Amino acid sequence: MLKIKKIDDFKDFREEMDEKILNEGNLMIKRFYNIDKHSYKAGALSTKTKEMLGLVASMALRCDDCINYHLIRCKQEGVRRKEFFEIFNIALLIGGSIVIPHLRKAVKVLDELEVDEDGQ
């Protein structure tokens, strides 16, 4: 079972490695990170909507790290459980049955995020 510790480890690892990567000073990598960071800011679409879109794309592309990141961000943006399952449905529609293993992992992470949120 994925534990909150693993979610925290994921966040810590991501932050540590991103810092290490950016400190290398590669201009093109820095530019890409900058585009990614600014693309999720509110504009014509809310940040919440953009994170939900990111989650659908990540599931369809089958990137577990990206799925975890967008699950966390979606929770932070106030996405509710029923909304998550509609997001998952769209990801399945787009990606097909190959998304099912990633859906299983996503639900496990979502359950852990909800436990953390409820303090249970």
Q: Find the CATH number of the domain harbouring 99.
A: 1.20.1290.10
* Predicted pLDDT at 11: 92
> CA 41 to CA 76: how far, in whole Å?
14
pLDDT score at 115: 86
The confidence score (pLDDT) of residue 3 equals: 56
> What pLDDT, on the 0 to 100 scale, is given for residue 80?
97
The domain total for the chain is 1
Residue tagged 């014509």 (tokens): 44
The pLDDT score that the predictor gives to residue 75 is 97
Give burial (CB, 10 Å; 0-12/13-18/19+) of 66.
middle
Residues spanned by the domain of 81: 4-118
What is the mean pLDDT, run by run of 10 residues, along the chain of 120 residues?
A: 73 95 97 96 98 98 96 97 98 97 96 75
What local confidence, expressed as pLDDT, does residue 48 receive? 98
Give residue 6's pLDDT.
87
